[in-house]
Amino acid sequence: MTPIRCSLATLPIAVAILAAGACRDAAPAANASAPPSSEAPRRTPGHVRLDTSQIGQVRIEELSAHAAADAIKVTGTFEFNADRTAKLLAPVSGQVQNLAVNVGDTVKKNAVLFVLSSREVAAAVAERVNSQKDLELAEKTFAMTTDLYQHQAASRMALQQSEAELAKARSKVTQAEENLRVLGFDPHADEDASRVQPRIPVRTPIDGTVIERTITNGQFVGSESTPLITIADLSSVWVQGDVFERDLRHIAVGEKADVITAAYPDDRFVAEVSRIASVVDAQTRTAKVRFLVANPGERLKPGMYATISVHVSSAHDALTIPASAVFVENGRTFAYVQTGPQEFVRRSVQTVASGSGRSRVLGGVAAGDRVVTDGVLLLRQVEADAAPQ
């Protein structure tokens, strides 16, 4: 073997060549040991995927077009039905006696509430007695004069005069009896009118409840226009509401409606439009509409607030969506539409309020779309959690 001789001058060059080769061999090994870089796939904004446990927490409805049923909302306050309210006045001046009712008592038609002991009644009774006596005398005089005339013992003028006196006496009796009837007496109930007591009974003309009483026993009252007792039939009540001018064309007398109150939020009471005002308020552009509301059990109290829904059926089909399915964010309205077994997408929709807890769809979804009606908050939370930070 021939020995290799290297001079000191060539030694650095050899070392450099060996080092370069080592670097080339080490570089692939270093690259091989580094893990490959990768990025997690990003979900399209507005798309939501629920896992198996979450999918059972949402409810979905497939939209379909049907006859639209809008509702006109009216708010108001319950009040007494004035057509079934009686305000009792004093028919004559007198003293209140035998007062038998208090506020809140239930009374039946023609029940005596109290009596009035009155000088006017005494005067009317006395007039009836005196007129009856005058009539009896006039009848005897006419009979005697007639007999005398037939026997040519009395002139024709005397007969005519007695006949006129008889007619006048009958007229006074009729007037006296009518005065007693006005005061509530039957003038023929007792043959002896002098036995009629100068006390007038005050009766209720309707069944109802005493809602106001301004008198006490022994009080003297006059025949003024102040009601002594007020009776109201609470089997029905009124609600007066303001309806906008644009909605009046949908409302007619006899139209049915539902009533909801804060006192009974789970109950619906039946109402009917009973009157529509003839004028529109120039400032509010509304008209007064009166609703007659059935009041079973007298649970509705005058003074309570009421919300009335007048249902208006449309002649054409419309697409509606449950109000619980839509939500507002940044001034826009959205709903979640199902695109797969566990996939949902947020979609912008345009709606207007309708009746029965639904909204009419103007755009954004179509018939056949499956929208989330319950669980919208869950999807919004899942979407927010998945959004890039």
Residues 347 and 305 in one domain: no
Residues 226 and 103 in one domain: yes
Cα gap 343→58, rounded to integer Å: 12
Q: Is residue 11 part of a domain?
A: no
- Under the banding of pLDDT at 50, 70 and 90, the label for residue 311 is confident
Q: Is residue 33 part of a domain?
A: no
What's the rounded mean pLDDT across residues 233-239?
A: 94
pLDDT, residue 16, reads 43
pLDDT, residue 231, reads 96
Rounding to the nearest 10 degrees, give the CA dihedral for residues 238, 244, 246, 247.
Answer: -30
| Ramachandran bin of 251, using left for φ above 0, alpha for ψ from -120 to 50, beta for the remaining angles | beta
pLDDT, residue 26, reads 44
Give how many domains the chain has, as a whole number: 4
What's the rounded mean pLDDT across residues 31-38?
A: 44
What's the rounded mean pLDDT across residues 78-91?
A: 92
Range of the domain at 109: 89-117+199-232
Residues 174 and 193 in one domain: yes
First-to-last CA distance in the chain?
73
Give the closest residue to 89 by CA, choosing from 228, 221, 210.
228
Look up residue 301 and give its two tokens.
Answer: 């109290």
Q: Among the three residues 149, 179, 197, which one is the final residue of a domain in this structure?
A: 197
Q: Is residue 265 part of a domain?
A: yes
CATH number for the domain including 353? 2.40.420.20
Query: In this model, does residue 11 exceed pLDDT 90?
Result: no
CATH number for the domain including 296? 2.40.30.170
Cα gap 249→266, rounded to integer Å: 30
pLDDT in tens, 162-201: 999 999 999 999 998 888 787 767 666 655 555 556 788 8
pLDDT in tens, 352-375: 766 567 788 888 999 899 999 999
What's the rounded mean pLDDT across residues 30-44?
A: 47
Q: Is residue 169 part of a domain?
A: yes
Residues 241 and 311 in one domain: yes
**CB of 294 closer than 8 Å to CB of 269:** yes
Look up residue 52 and give its two tokens.
Answer: 């198996």
Residues 261 and 168 in one domain: no
In this predicted structure, which of 4-13, 126-135, 145-154, 304-313 has the lowest mean pLDDT?
4-13
Residues 99 and 206 in one domain: yes
Name the DSSP letter for residue 104.
T
pLDDT, residue 371, reads 95
pLDDT, residue 5, reads 47
Query: In this model, does residue 42 exceed pLDDT 60?
Result: no
Cα gap 304→262, rounded to integer Å: 8
Cα gap 35→23, rounded to integer Å: 21
pLDDT, residue 40, reads 43
Query: In this model, does residue 22 exceed pLDDT 80?
Result: no
pLDDT, residue 122, reads 78
Query: Do the bridges between strand 229-232 and strand 208-213 make them parallel or antiparallel, or are there none, so unpaired?
Result: antiparallel
Residues 61 and 97 in one domain: no
Cα gap 340→51, rounded to integer Å: 12
Residues 192 and 153 in one domain: yes
Mean pLDDT, rounded, of the chain: 82
| Ramachandran bin of 161, using left for φ above 0, alpha for ψ from -120 to 50, beta for the remaining angles | alpha
* CA separation, residue 86 to residues 256, 294, 318 (Å): 27, 19, 49
Which helix or strand (DSSP H or E) is residue 161 part of?
A: helix 156-182
Q: Among the three residues 153, 178, 197, which one is the final residue of a domain in this structure?
A: 197
Residues 189 and 203 in one domain: no
Q: Is residue 126 part of a domain?
A: yes
Residues 247 and 257 in one domain: yes
Q: Is residue 278 part of a domain?
A: yes
pTM for the structure as a whole:
0.54
pLDDT, residue 125, reads 81
Cα gap 178→185, rounded to integer Å: 9
Q: Among the three residues 146, 175, 197, which one is the final residue of a domain in this structure?
A: 197
Look up residue 8 and give its two tokens.
Answer: 């000191």
- Under the banding of pLDDT at 50, 70 and 90, the label for residue 61 is very high
What's the rounded mean pLDDT across residues 275-297?
A: 93
Return the residue matching tokens 């949902």: 344
CATH number for the domain including 217? 2.40.50.100
Q: Is residue 51 part of a domain?
A: yes
Which helix or strand (DSSP H or E) is residue 345 part of?
A: strand 343-348
Residues 226 and 245 in one domain: no
What residue ranges in 98-214 does DSSP mark as E strands?
106-107, 112-117, 199-203, 208-213
Residues 158 and 291 in one domain: no
Q: Is residue 16 part of a domain?
A: no
Look up residue 97 and give its two tokens.
Answer: 């006696």
